[in-house]
Amino acid sequence: MGNPLVTILGVGNFLFADEGFGIRVIEKLQAEYRFPEEVLVVDGGVLGIHLLGVISQPDHLIVVDAVRNRGKAGDLYRLAGEDIPRRVLAKNSLHQVDLLEALTLCQALDKVPETVILGVEPEDIETLSLEMTPAVRRQVAPMVARVLQELDRLGVTYSRRSPS
Amino acid sequence: MGKRITIDPITRIEGHLRIEVEVEGGKVVNAWSSGTLFRGIEVILQGRDPRDAHHFVQRSCGVCTYVHALASVRAVDDAVGIKVPANARLIRNLLNGAQYQHDHIVHFYHLHALDWVDIVSALKADPAKTAALSDNTSNAPWGGRQYFKNVQVRLQTFVDSGQLGPFANAYWGHSAYQLPPEANLMAAAHYIEALRMQARAARMHAIFGGKNPHPQSLVVGGVTSVADLTPDRIAEFLYITKETQDFVKNVYIPDLLAVASFYKEWGGIGGCTNFLTYGEFPASDQEPESFYIPRGIIRQRDLGKIEMVDQQKVTEDVTRSWYVKSEPKHPFEGETRPIEENPKYDPDKGQYSWAKAPRYDGLPCEVGPLARVLVAYAKGHTEIKPLVDSTLKQLDIPASALFSTLGRTAARGLEAVAIGEAMQGWVTELVENLKNGDTRTYQPYEMPESASGVGLNDVPRGALGHWIRIEDGKIGNYQYVVPSTWNLGPRDGAGNLSPVEEALIGTPVADPQKPLEVLRTVHSFDPCLACAIHVIDPHSNEVYKIRVV
């Protein structure tokens, strides 16, 4: 008790090639590491507003996703604080209540977690395929390391699972 | 030729739904709905083990994760020829019911309310008068002058910071908003409370779902929530169900009635002609006879004659869609062959949507809450009919007003009440079974070499069908026809308009630059279109544009 709550949230859709990156990182984290109980590791899929319950709980939120940042495929990014776009949810967008909008809605609940978005530049997010492109697939392990760095920054301890 | 207005939300990929209307003399005279719907799942599924299909299909939508998994395991249950044990049926019902409760609250408050509620007007409300209004109209547990004052301060902070967030909207102050400032403030307060409620309601799925989001507890043959069938887990589920139901009855419904009373003319706007529901929530192995929400078709608004549904009569027409020309096909024969050339948007004569046009016996049919409530009402449903009758009486409107945008939005709330009540009975039944030593949750089966199966379901947004063909023990073909395609597809080869296109005709438009009235009807269908792609784009601008052509 008393430790800050941390949620690691992978988002994306593994049906569309590089769109699955965030989910694949989460799967690897779950398979290879043990985390204390104040750390939740969540596969958020492509849910927008339905993730509000997940994102309005913790003190710290680490999001892993494909991020289009006009770089080259496989580039890794870290967005925090002011870099996180303040996307506006106009009620005239039809259902585009995405993750960033859900974060904005957290403000209405007075519960906005300190958020870091860790992203990879995708190459292909349109082909229906369970396989990521090589440039992006290569970045799963480095991204796992980056997530762990964030936990180090927050003073969270974790351990590697022994290969069974 | 009237004025053409295009409403085209530009998303990170391409417009998911583009609505074009032609306005003459202040009214919509023609409408076209163009959608990008999730297509091509069969590409990924072909050759896979049928038992795995639900893991893939539930990733095809960003709003309704559970429902595609349910439809998929039911289609395979059907193909392998089994009935699941009573406990599995109850847990599947409870998870689907939880989806309804959660979805309907989110839709009313977070996706639809701001079509009717003017947030900026709420800033002008008198908190003391709002408290009095709330005491008179709502059974909400929150209230008092100070509470509403605090909400107002919070809204003002949003507005002042320029971080309008959910309340950023170009239409505040539009002449079509008719609520007094106090009603706007009350609704805005409940918008925020509903955010809290929905975050809690989502936990219902986590209890019997193994995980949330993306519940993993469904399998062909039943469910895997064996470890969760303990008194304390069931009690926790029941507790959240009741809490959610209290919110529906004490906040959602009073708000719905309060808002509707200012918009009665919408009981004459936005109606459709034919209605289809597959029905849902089996009470036994007898399907569809034992469904809590009955199966049926209504043609030409004739509530005196409800027909039984024959899934053989479902076809998809691609005449006006960007696919290679072919006859309307049943989903078992369904194919997805996009045209080779670049799609050209030609609403007047040619192809204009990625959505196909689903038809029943050649007819476009509205699916969803209104279809379900109308069929139940016409059949004299013991819980739903009284709810509808008392609502009509309270609003002092005739039954014919149900065929409308108002009726659609009201039906959603009323079925949330009925289903929430029924869920508590299913929990009791589950507990009784366990007490009597029936703990079965799974029915073993043999995977046939070849078979075909159909899963017909009704989920929050409407009729959802999954069709599977098994060949050599693997998936040979897999198709689904989703509710938003029924409601928001394009015209068909016979020239029939889709439900949303038909519903929009006759809608008044006060200001073509701000087609708020059009959005009211479009949103009332709760469109859910291919949220399947999801990438953060820090450079994306406002997602909305209106072109007056």
- Cis link prior to B288 (omega < 30° from 0)? yes
Residue in B7, B315, B22, B403 with CA at minimum distance from that of residue B170: B7
Environment class of B419 (CB within 10 Å of its CB; exposed 0-12, middle 13-18, buried 19+): buried
Active site members of B: 14, 61, 64, 68, 461, 484, 528, 531
**Interchain pair A43, B211: CB under 8 A:** yes
Q: Are B275 and B414 contacting, i.e. CB atoms less than 8 angstroms apart? A: no
Alpha-helical segments (H) within A114-161: 134-137, 140-153
pLDDT of A21 strictly over 60: yes
B474-481 and B462-471 strand pairing: antiparallel
Q: Which residues of B touch A42 (CB under 8 A)?
A: 213
CA distance A164 to chain B (A): 23
Least confident span in A61-65, A109-113, B481-485: A109-113
β pairing state of A114-120 and A60-66: parallel
Q: Which helix or strand (DSSP H or E) is residue B196 part of?
A: helix B181-201
| Mean pLDDT value of segment A54-81 | 88
Q: How far apart are CA A55 and CA A91, in angstroms?
A: 21
Residues of B in contact with A97 (CB under 8 A): 110-111
User: Which residue, chain included where needed, has tokens 């929150």?
Assistant: B142
Please indicate whether, in this complex, the C-beta atoms of B195 and A109 are within 8 angstroms of each other.
yes
Residue numbers in B near A48 (CB within 8 A): 62-63, 531, 534
The C-alpha of B151 sits at a distance from chain A's nearest C-alpha, in angstroms, of 10
3-class secondary-structure state, position B71? helix
Window 367-426 of B: residues touching A by CB (8 A cutoff) are: none
- For A48, name the nearest residue in chain B, comparing CA atoms only: B62
The CB-side HSE value for B277 (13 A sphere, CA atoms) comes to 28
Distances (CA, A) of B292 to B86, B91, B285, B304: 15, 15, 13, 20
- Collect all residues of chain A within an 8 Å Cβ-Cβ radius of residue B106: 49-50
* Region for A70 from its dihedrals, namely left if φ exceeds 0, alpha if ψ lies in -120 to 50, beta otherwise: left
The DSSP element (H or E) to which A117 belongs, if any, is strand A114-120
pLDDT of residue B111: 84
The pLDDT of residue B3: 83
Q: How far is CA A72 from the centre of its chain?
A: 20
Q: What's at B406, amino acid-wise?
A: L
Q: Kindly determine whether residue A50 and residue B214, on different chains, have CB atoms separated by under 8 Å.
A: no
pLDDT of residue A54: 85
Per-residue pLDDT, B35: 81
In angstroms, what CA-CA distances link B130 with B154, B182, B247, B344? 16, 5, 19, 52
Q: Mind listing the pLDDT tens digit of every residue in chain B (549 residues)?
A: 678 877 765 332 334 778 889 988 899 999 999 887 666 677 789 999 999 999 988 887 666 678 999 999 999 999 999 999 999 999 999 999 999 999 999 999 988 898 999 988 999 999 999 999 999 999 999 999 999 999 999 888 877 766 555 566 668 899 999 999 999 999 999 999 998 998 888 888 888 887 767 788 999 999 998 888 899 999 999 999 999 999 999 999 999 999 999 999 999 999 999 999 999 999 999 999 999 999 999 999 999 999 999 999 999 999 999 889 999 999 999 887 888 888 888 999 999 988 899 999 999 999 999 999 999 999 999 999 999 999 999 999 999 999 999 999 999 999 999 999 999 999 999 999 999 999 999 999 999 999 999 999 999 999 999 999 999 999 999 998 999 899 999 999 999 999 999 999 999 999 888 888 998 999 899 887 644 333 444 444 333 333 333
Q: Which of B200, B532, B540 sits opposite A15 (nearest CB)?
A: B532
3-state SS of B404-473? CHHHHHHHHHHHHHHHHHHHHHHHHHHHHHHHCCCCCCECCCCCCCCEEEEEEEEECCEEEEEEEEEECC
Q: DSSP code of A129?
A: B
Spatial distance between the Cα atoms of A52 and A102, rounded to a whole number of angstroms: 6
pLDDT given at position A87: 46
At B244 the pLDDT is 97
Over range A112-131, report the average pLDDT: 88
pLDDT of A89: 34
Mutation target among B534, B542, B545, B546 for the A interface, most CBs of A within 10 A: B534
What's the confidence (pLDDT) of residue B2?
78
Instruction: Indicate the burial class of A152 (C-beta count within 10 angstroms; 0-12, 13-18, 19 or more).
Output: exposed
Compute, in degrees rounded to 10, the torsion defined by CA atoms B485, B486, B490, B492: 130
Cβ separation of A46 and B59 shorter than 8 Å?
A: yes
- Is residue B38 within 8 Å of B532, Cβ to Cβ? yes
- Let me know: does B357 contact B498? Beta carbons within 8 Å: yes
Distance CA A128, CA B481 (A): 18
Here the contacts of B133-140 (C-beta below 8 Å, separation 24 or greater) are B133/B182, B133/B183, B133/B186, B134/B186, B137/B186, B137/B254, B137/B257, B137/B258, B138/B186, B138/B190, B138/B250, B138/B251, B138/B254, B138/B255, B138/B258, B139/B249, B139/B250, B139/B251, B139/B254, B140/B190, B140/B193, B140/B250, B140/B251, B140/B254
Other C-beta atoms within 10 Å of B449: how many?
A: 10
Q: Which residue of A has its CA nearest to B198?
A: A53
CB B229 within 8 A of CB B439: yes
**What is the predicted pLDDT for the residue at B170?**
62
Query: Could you give the angle at which helices B253-260 and B405-435 cross, rounded to 10 degrees?
Result: 170
Contact status of B161 with chain A (Cβ, < 8 Å): no
Percent of chain A with pLDDT over 90: 51
Task: Categorize the per-residue pLDDT at A71 as very low, low, confident or very high, splitting at 50, 70 and 90.
Answer: confident
| A83 contacts on B by Cβ (under 8 Å) | 538
How far is residue B119's CA from residue B133's CA, in Å, rounded to a whole number?
Answer: 17
pLDDT value of residue A85: 62
Determine the residue among A30, A46, A121 to mutate to test chain B binding: the one whose Cβ has the most chain B Cβ atoms within 10 Å. A46
Rounded Cα distance between B309 and B289, Å, is 12
Least CB–CB distance from A92: residue in B169, B196, B211: B169
Using CB atoms, pick whichever of B195, B214, B533 lies closest to residue A52: B195
CB B292 within 8 A of CB B313: no
B246, B248, B250, B252: CA torsion to nearest 10: 160
Is residue B165 within 8 angstroms of chain A, CB to CB?
yes
Which helix H or strand E contains B504, and what residues bound it? helix B499-504
Per DSSP, chain B holds a count of helices (H) and strands (E) of 17, 16
Which band of pLDDT confidence, cut at 50, 70 and 90, is reported for residue A94? Answer: very low
- Local confidence band at A128 (pLDDT 50, 70, 90 cut-offs): confident
Q: What is the Cα–Cα distance from B433 to B440, expressed in whole angstroms? A: 9
